[in-house]
Amino acid sequence: AKSHGETRDCEQPDPMSLDALFQPLQLGGLTLPNRVIMAPLTRARATPGNVPTALMAQYYAQRADCGLIVSEATAVDPLGMGWYRVPGLWTSDMVEGWAHVTGAVHSAGGKIFAQLWHMGRLVLPDYIGGAQPLGPSPIAGEGQTFAPPPPDYVGGFLPMKAYVVPREMTHGDIAHAVEAYGTGAANALVAGFDGVEIHAANGYLIDQFLQSNANHRSDAYGGDLAGRSRLLREVLEAVTAAVGPGRVGIRISPTSARKGMGDENPDALADAVAALAQEFGIAYMHLIEPIASGFMERPDNPVIERIRAIFRGVVIQNGSFDAPAANACIAAGKADAVSFGRPYIANPDLVMRMRGGHPLAVADMDHAYVGDACGYTDYPLFAGSV
């Protein structure tokens, strides 16, 4: 891994060319100071009992000068929790832990939404007492994920295990999950969050229902797009009832096939989700659609313009952007803001670096998901910054 202070060679843009990126933006009832969004980043620094920590408060406060922070994925229910040391939002201890985080962000002048998460079929039995995970259909996700640590664990990367075949959710299971999203949203406001983002991307529960490769149901929650989007509709109903539509966003990845996902018609899926978002009048849609292949593949047929044509709220785009590309995207009217994920790992002062055309520090990926302060809160500010 490269040292925290090392920077990558890159062309330093003329800061004056980034005017669009640093314009204020109205998002629901919030006025964002700029259009740089911190994307959700799983960092695994909560307690083993999934309670946010003081270290997390420091981490988020360091990055509070962006327009909006979207928190790491935060589980709304124990059955949807499948990562070691990630936070939840279903107990009073979790709410209290998050309150320290949101307080630190607000004291630093920032704004923060909670991303509400249920992993569905991507939960390992190891995390839920050996029970079978839940999914729309008995189809396993592709690949592996981190398993809980063994008894002799002393640090470092966790063991990996393959995903298992989930149990097809009953209508009772679905109703329980919907209720958990609503409760999670209400808890988020108690914890001081400015709003919530429904995680309907990256192959997790809602995405599993939306995409045809993962949903082979023949009941009211499967089949055509109206059926496959019914869970999302019910989650939107529960969440907007709890916090109001102006405090709600949704993150989607309709063109992604990671973890065994994929849809027979991504264009139609994007249209359907955008229509739902417009119907409920939520604040924003957050689209994962890379402009260059990397963590995810760049789609052959992007859907950003389709979403833009249907949804009248704020559109945030994500995926392989640097500052000039983000500015160009916003200036061209393709999106209202752009979110940055991995650049935020090593650059707590990312907005300042972008404004000044300074090079970016390189992340220590050996400590991205393990450890404590190392590779988390110990990245220095750019030399000469104040």
Residues carrying an active site annotation: 204
Structure tokens at 313: 């709220």
Which pair of structure tokens corresponds to residue 380?
């220095």
Tokens of 34: 């700029």
With contact defined as beta carbons under 8 Å apart, do 44 and 369 qualify? yes
Calpha distance 336→331 (Å, rounded): 9
> Which stretch of DSSP H or E encloses residue 272?
helix 266-280
Compute the C-alpha angle 77/288/212, nearest 5°: 70
209, 221 contact by CB (below 8 A): yes
**How big is the CA angle at 253 (ends 247 and 257), to the nearest 5 degrees?**
155
| Residue 358: both structure tokens together | 């300074």
Which residues neighbour 25 within 8 Å (Cβ) at sequence distance 6 or greater? 31, 32, 34, 35, 67, 314, 336, 337
Query: In 3-state terms, what secondary structure has residue 134?
Result: strand
CA distances (Å), origin 282, targets 29, 142, 156: 11, 32, 40
Paired tokens of 183: 């409760």
Angstrom distance (rounded) from CA 232 to CA 219: 15
- β-pair partners for 197: 115, 249
Q: What are φ and ψ of residue 74, in 5° steps? A: -125, 120
| Per-state percent for the chain, helix, strand, coil, to nearest 5 | 35, 15, 50
How far is 297 from 279, CA to CA, in rounded Å? 30
Tell which phi-psi region holds residue 95, choosing left (phi > 0), alpha (psi between -120 and 50) or beta. alpha
